[in-house]
Amino acid sequence: MESVSRRDVSRRAVLRGAGGAAALLAGGAVASAGAGSAVAAPAWSTLQQRMSGQVLVQGATGYTAVAHGYNPRFDTVWPSAVARCVSTADVSAAVAFARSNALPFTIRSGGHALTGWSTGTGLVIDTTLISAMTVDPATATATVGAGARLIDVYQKVASAGLALPGGTCGSVGIAGLALGGGIGALTRPWGLTCDQLTGATIVFADASVKQVSASHWPGLFWALRGGGGGSFGVVTSLTFRLRPAPTFQVWSMPYDMSAAPAVVAGYQTFMATADSRLHGELSFRATPSTGKTSLTVTGTWIGSAAALTAQLDALVAAIGVRPNARTVSSQGYLAAMLQEAECSSYASCHLPPQGTIPRVPSAGASTMVYAPLSPAAVTTLVDRVRAGLAVPKATWTGCTVVALGGAVRSTTTADSAFGHRDARLMLHYLARWSPSTPTLDPTPFDGYVRGFRAAMAPFCGTGAYVNYLDISIADHGAAYWPGTYARLRTVKATVDPGNLFRFPQSVRP
Ligand X SMILES: Cc1cc2nc3c(=O)[nH]c(=O)nc-3n(C[C@H](O)[C@H](O)[C@H](O)COP(=O)(O)OP(=O)(O)OC[C@H]3O[C@@H](n4cnc5c(N)ncnc54)[C@H](O)[C@@H]3O)c2cc1C
CA distances from 143 to 132, 333, 362, 462 (A): 8, 19, 32, 35
Q: Which residue is nearest to ligand X (CB)?
A: 176
Peptide bond into 509 cis (omega under 30): no
Strand positions, DSSP E, 78-130: 81-84, 105-108, 123-126
Q: What is the DSSP string of 341-392?
A: TT-SSTTTSS-TTTS------EEEEEEEE-SPPPHHHHHHHHHHHHHGGGST
d(CA 145, CA 185): 22
CB under 6 A: which stretch of 36-44, 77-85, 170-178, 441-449 binds ligand X? 170-178
Q: Which CB, 203 or 378, lies closer to ligand X?
A: 203
d(CA 145, CA 133): 6
99/377 with CB nearer ligand X = 99
Tell which one of 101, 127, 196, 367 touches ligand X (CB under 6 A): 127
Q: Which is nearer to ligand X, 110 or 299 (CB)?
A: 110
CA geometry: angle 164, 404, 400, nearest 5 deg: 100
Q: Which of 111, 191, 199, 227 binds ligand X (CB under 6 A)?
A: 111
Q: Is 193 or 380 the residue whose CB approaches ligand X more closely?
A: 193
Residue 239 touching ligand X (CB under 6 A): no
Spatial separation of the C-alpha atoms in residues 284 and 295, rounded to whole Å:
5
Q: Which residue, 268 or 467, is less far from ligand X as judged by CB?
A: 467
CA distances for 428 relative to 28, 94, 424, 466, angstroms? 23, 35, 13, 12
Minimum CB distance to ligand X smaller for 366 or for 380: 366
Binds ligand X (CB under 6 A): choice among 117, 204, 396, 433: 117
Residues of this chain, 481-500, that bind ligand X according to CB under 6 A = none
- Residue 110 as a binder of ligand X (CB under 6 A): the answer is yes
Identity of residue 98 = A
Binding footprint of ligand X, residue count (CB under 6 A): 34
- Provide the minimum distance between the beta carbon of 111 and ligand X in the complex, in angstroms, as a whole number: 5
**Per CB under 6 A, does 114 bind ligand X?**
yes
The residue among 163 and 172 lying less far from ligand X, judged by its C-beta, is: 172
Stretch that binds ligand X, among 108-116, 266-274, 299-307, 441-449 (CB under 6 A): 108-116
Q: Which range in 169-177, 242-250, 262-270, 450-458 contacts ligand X by CB under 6 A? A: 169-177
Nearest-angstrom CA–CA distance, 146 and 439: 29
Q: Which of 169, 264, 373, 408 binds ligand X (CB under 6 A)?
A: 169
Q: Distance of CA 248 to CAs 315, 338, 375, Å?
A: 18, 12, 33
Closer CB to ligand X, 69 or 189, in the complex = 69
d(CA 493, CA 363): 32
Beta carbon nearer to ligand X, 183 or 260:
183
Q: 100, 118, 397, 484: which one contacts ligand X (CB under 6 A)?
A: 118
50 Cβ contact list (under 8 Å, min separation 6) = 2, 93, 96, 97
Query: Of 42, 122, 170, 229, which lies in the binding site for ligand X, with binding defined by CB under 6 A?
Result: 229
- Residue from 82, 183, 295, 316 that binds ligand X (CB under 6 A)? 183
Cβ(428)–Cβ(402) below 8 Å: yes
DSSP string, 429-457: EEEEE-TTSTTS--HHHHHHHHHHHHHHH
Task: Indicate which single residue of 249, 268, 413, 467 sits in contact with ligand X (rule: CB under 6 A).
Answer: 467
Do 4 and 206 form a contact (C-beta atoms < 8 A)? yes
Contact with ligand X (CB under 6 A) among 20, 145, 167, 482? 167
> Which of helix, strand or coil describes residue 237?
strand
Q: Is 113 in the site for ligand X (CB under 6 A)?
A: yes
Span near ligand X by CB under 6 A; candidates 205-213, 226-234, 322-330, 444-452: 226-234
Binding site for ligand X (CB under 6 A): 69-70, 106-114, 117-118, 127, 146, 167-169, 172-173, 175-177, 179-184, 229-230, 234-235, 467
